[in-house]
Amino acid sequence: MYAQVVDEADVQFARRVDRQAMAAVTRRMSQVNDVRAVWALVTQWAVIVASIAAVVVVDRWWMWPLAAVVIATRQHALFILLHEASHHHLLSNRKVSDVVSDLFCAFPLNMTTVGYRHEHMLHHRHVNTDQDPYWAHMQPDPSWHFPRPPVRAAAVFLGDALGVYMRGHMKVVTPWTYWGRLLGGAKPRLSKAEHARYALYVVGLVTLLVTTGAWLHWLLLWVMPTTTVMMAFFRLRALGEHPLDAEGKGDETRETRDIRATPLERLFVSPLHSNYHLTHHAFPSVPFYNLPHMHQELEKAGLLEDGVNRFDSYLGRKDNSLVKYLVRKPDARVSAPKRDVAAAPTATPAGSGVPMHS
């Protein structure tokens, strides 16, 4: 369990939800299941390997872009597993978790677990404020500013898929990378263990490519998807997580969202239950496979409100979809709220009970 963190988001959470009543279920749902984590990791890599094999076996030009898109969805899933490791609940042994995350999630995506963790913890503590590194990166970048007309919105995601916004994305990612921390001065400093396992990764990758001669496959089926198609998926998910079009007010429960995604959206946009982002912020000690259960707890507590912190889908046609929010007229609501959040349980006074960041 994490050390207690008491901040404005905790206060807001306590005003709306009886955290004391949730303490037992939170502890139970925070148990790390190594088997489920390893299965998730193996599954992503199995799909990646099968996609590359399909390109070799089918040997048709159209198989390359198809495989690249599939691989991009699994790269996105590997990023979510890296995120799990940043919270120390990918595996129950934290040291082993960091090693596994670096070798099989972070390094292949040109990131480091510790580098990502450093900024991600700041994000959790200072959501949508100047001290939030994600907020600070996105605010000066016009491509993150929504709402915008449908054609202009589509142009942004097409630009991601074509690599137009690669430079902007790299500014965000560089502090998380090995070279950004080694040469760019990004915090924290690299440890000897990180140097050793990065060298191991590079030697392993080069050996594999030299042995198989798969340099073109690596470039077109791995490097290019991470900087193009995957970033389009990443942007849509990120836009669904926190509103960026209004000044942050320090209320995490109103500035973070859960999205009920369709099966296809969960495959492409929000793998491994990453659509439950408000639930994750409310219960960051809970691993990804238990987020649906905790989402239901927030539903029962009356915390979720349509068009504010809960949407039905990312790209659906219904009024309560993220895409309708992103292309709405400025200051317009997507749909009328279906719940009165003010009527939610208020039995727990601010600052008491179980810490939100447990």
Task: Identify the H or E element spanning 215.
Answer: helix 215-218
Task: Count how many Cα atoms sit within 13 Å of the Cα of residue 103 in the half-sphere of its side chain.
Answer: 15
Helix, strand, or coil here: 157? helix
Neighbours of 154 (CB within 10 A): 13
Strand partners, 50: none
Q: What does the pLDDT read at residue 104?
A: 98
**N- to C-terminal Cα separation, the chain:** 6
Model confidence over 239-289: pLDDT tens digits? Answer: 999 987 666 666 778 889 999 999 999 999 999 999 999 999 999 999 999
Task: Identify the H or E element spanning 258.
Answer: strand 258-259
Helix, strand, or coil here: 310? strand
Amino acid at 332: A
**pLDDT reading at 347 higher than 50:** no
Distance CA 189, CA 322 (A): 38
Task: Identify the H or E element spanning 288.
Answer: none
Alpha helices in the chain (DSSP H): 8-16, 19-29, 34-58, 63-86, 94-101, 113-125, 133-138, 150-161, 166-173, 178-182, 192-212, 215-218, 224-227, 229-241, 263-268, 277-282, 291-301, 322-326
Neighbours of 250 (CB within 10 A): 15
Model confidence over 55-100: pLDDT tens digits? Answer: 999 999 999 999 999 999 999 999 999 999 999 999 999 999 999 9
Q: What does the pLDDT read at residue 1?
A: 31
Distance CA 322, CA 75 (A): 23
Model confidence over 123-172: pLDDT tens digits? Answer: 999 888 889 999 998 989 999 999 999 999 999 999 999 999 999 999 89
Q: Name the residue among 30, 1, 19, 2 with its Cα closest to residue 297.
A: 19
Strand partners, 276: 258
